[in-house]
Structure 1
Amino acid sequence: MDMKNITKWSLALGALTLATACVVAGTDADPADWPGMASMQSVSGKEIYHECGATMISDSWAITAAHCVETARIENGRRAIQYVPDASGDLVRFGPMILTIGAGDLRKVSRGSVFPIREVVVHPAYKRGHAEQGNDLALVRIDGTWQGPVARLDGLTGSVSDFDPPYSELTVAGYGKTGEQATGQEAVSRTGRHLSAPMMVLQEAYLPKITPQECRTDLEGLITQYGLQDDYAGVSVSPETQMCAGASYSDSCQGDSGGPLVQRGNGGNGPVQVGVVSWGLGCGREGSPGVYMRVSAYADWIAETTGIARSAPPAAL
């Protein structure tokens, strides 16, 4: 994940200095292992840009990070448009937002998997421009119906309570950068548009879980080391609403924001999403864990917003 002086839309969308979050030390992923995995993209003329990850959680709703959509606006009551800052800091129209779902390779997108975004709901407690202060979640509704598999959310439509801890593991996936200095990739889409993304092929990585106390200690040390006390004054990691994972050899990075952190066990029922990529300081740096929003803490808000019925017991935080 990126420090504040690394732009969220570094591919083409201007210089918005936010704390944001491919997968560092990852391997090619099978999309069948990542139900509902999606690439959130912006379209400008004949150009398509991957911005963030997301996960379909029903046939019409996806979950992502709030900082990925905090400057989006709904136009004509049915289309989400991405706005970006110009040189003076004023927001200007960039282009429509779309969701590409279930792609193992963004260059090979199947029909019926690309949808316009028609509604964006940012968590009401999120503070714009400050992902590091928490509540970094948003829900987006597509214009259409996704016919494929969807993710199960811990505490809402899935549960990790039955997973055997010694054998359960955390994994993250995305189309983000494979390192802080990694260059992006370019290709031509199936429809003939120019496509830009940090990584075209979906990546995944296993992440060690970091305790909240270890996470706070590590981040506080790095904030001091990097001289970011003013930017990150009072930042803390809430064990109720956030979780930390990652080590120097594996991490999420720019372009992975909004994507899924899942837990897999030996129950044979597939993965359960426990987190959403939020923020961090650098990618894969020694002693720099990634911070993820804990989805079980927001199960009630997700259910109320989307109408998804709870089918799993509330998660124990």
Structure 2
Amino acid sequence: MASEKKLVVVGLLVFAFFSQGEGIIGGREAAPHSRPYMASIQVAEGDRMKHECGGFVVADQWVMTAVHCLPTGANGRKVVLGVHSLSQDEDTKQTFDIMELHNHPQFDSSNYDNDISLIKLDRLFNASDAVKAVAFLRAGGANPDTDAAVDTAGWGSLDNLGSRPDKLKELVVEVEDPVLCRRSDYFGRKFTANMICAHKVCEDPCDKPHKKEDTCDGDSGGPLLYNGVAVGITSNGGKKCGQLKKPGIYTVISHYTQWIDGVMGLQSDP
């Protein structure tokens, strides 16, 4: 009997340890529809759709995401806009088929270089307070410097056990020195000039002192924003989220202006 009680206590302690995260790794729940550009890329699982990756609206019929979210094609995936809760019926939700998928032709799966993709939706979305595009940084724009505060959001894992939130979470992180991220004990040669690395070491008054706040599995494809402008795409990091020497990695959007304009049929600036 005593041994059974011990097992129950241990189980409760383990559950409490892994349940205290508030989303992403750290972070907080976003105000509903305060990030109307957010997209949930979903895949069929049985008779329902399951969130797989993030994305963000950049034009009337276009969503930007990461290549590694859809490396072999759309394969029946859907894009859902105007969503806060993944499970609840929200009258703001709009669901789309993927009409075109444009993965960057130089994506490198060995280090996730050039991890940028554009999705053309099967129709125009209905613009509203819950669904609208976000501006993204173009060539010649100023990317955030080391230690700059940037923010991101997603429905990614709360912990390394794969627990997922139902509602959108958001997180403020800080840009890390690229020299540090190129060190061999960080990412070494896998870290390229097309990448930003960012994280936040959570100190008092955080609930989990000296732990790293980070994006995680399922946040991929979402935006990294600086002063309200998308400057990066959530790409990759360590095999585990929240590791001190494996900050989140984000694709630098401004490096791809010509490619983006070519895909979307826009006129590039001279």
Aligned residue for 2:36? 35
Q: Give the alignment partner of residue 113 of structure 1, picking from 84, 88, 94.
A: 94
Relative to structure 1, the CA distance from residue 250 to residue 101 in structure 2 (aligned partners, 3 Å threshold; closer, same or farther) is same
- Cα distance in 2 between the residues matched to 1:29 and 1:244: 22
Q: Give the aligned partner of residue 284 of structure 1.
A: 242
- Name the counterpart of 2:213: 250
Q: Which residue of 2 aligns with 1:178?
A: 158
Are the counterparts in 1 of residues 147 and 175 from structure 2 also a CA contact under 8 Å? no
Task: Compute the displacement of 1:147 (Å).
Answer: 2.4
> What amino acid maps onto 1:122 in structure 2?
N
Aligned to 2:39, the other structure's residue is in SS state: strand
Question: Mapping of 1:16-31 within 5 angstroms?
Answer: 23-31=24-32
C-alpha change, 1:31 and 1:214, in structure 2 (3 Å) is: farther
How many residues are paired up? 232
Q: Distance in 2 between matches of 1:45 and 1:111?
A: 24
State percent identity of aligned pairs: 30
1:235 aligns with 2:201: no
Matches within 5 A, 1:3-14: none
After superposition, the Cα gap between the structure-2 partners of 1:119 and 1:31, relative to the gap in structure 1 and judged at 3 Å, is: farther
CA radius of gyration, larger in: 2
The TM-score, its normalising length taken from structure 1, stands at 0.67
1:152 corresponds to: 135
What residue is the counterpart of 2:116 in the other structure? 137
- The correspondence of residues 210-225 of structure 1 with structure 2, limited to 5 A, is 210-217=176-183, 220-221=184-185
Tell me by how many angstroms 1:300 deviates: 1.2
Equivalent position of 1:301 in the other structure: 259
Counterparts of 1:168 and 1:133 in 2: how far apart (Å)?
Answer: 23
Q: Deviations along 1:47-78, whole A, 9 cap, x unmatched?
A: 21111000111111111100111122xxxxxx
Alpha-carbon contact 2:64-2:117 (below 8 Å) kept: yes
Q: Do 2:100 and 2:119's aligned partners in 1 also have CA atoms closer than 8 Å?
A: yes
Deviation at residue 166 of structure 1 after TM alignment: 11
Cα deviation, residue 236, structure 1: 2.8
The root-mean-square deviation of aligned C-alpha atoms, in Å, is 2.6
Q: Give 1:113 deviation, angstroms.
A: 1.3
Aligned to 2:67: 66
Contact 2:112–2:235 (8 Å) recurs in 1: no
Paired position in structure 2 for 1:97: 77
**Structure 1 position 112, deviation (Å):** 5.5
SS in 1 for 2:182: helix
Asked if the contact 2:214–2:242 (Cα under 8 Å) also holds between the matched residues in 1, the reply is yes
Structure 1 window deviating more from structure 2 (245-254 vs 100-109): it is 100-109
TM-score when scaled to structure 2? 0.78
Shift, 1:139, TM fit:
0.7
Greater relative contact order structure (CA < 8 Å, 6+ sep): 1
Cα drift, residue 274 of structure 1: 0.5
- How far has the Cα of 1:159 moved from its partner? 5.3
SS at 2:135's partner residue? coil
> For residue 98 of structure 2, what is the amino acid of its counterpart?
I
Describe how 1:182-221 pairs up with structure 2 within 5 A.
Answer: 182-183=162-163, 198-217=164-183, 220-221=184-185
Report the alpha carbon displacement of residue 179 of structure 1 after superposing the two structures with TM.
1.4
1:30 to 1:121, Cα distance in 2 relative to 1, 3 A: same
Unaligned runs of 5+ residues in structure 1 are 1-21, 73-79, 82-95, 184-197, 224-233, 265-270
Deviation at 1:114, TM superposition (A): 1.0
Distance 1:147 1:168, change over 3 A: farther
> 1:103-143 CA deviation, whole Å, 9 max, x = no partner?
1211233356111111111101013x43x240111111111
Inter-partner Cα distance in structure 2 for 1:167 and 1:69: 31
- Relative distance call for 1:67 and 1:36 in structure 2 (3 A) is same
Partners of 1:159 and 1:272 within 8 A in 2? no
Aligned equivalents of 2:32, 2:64: Cα separation in 1 = 17
SS at match of 1:57: strand
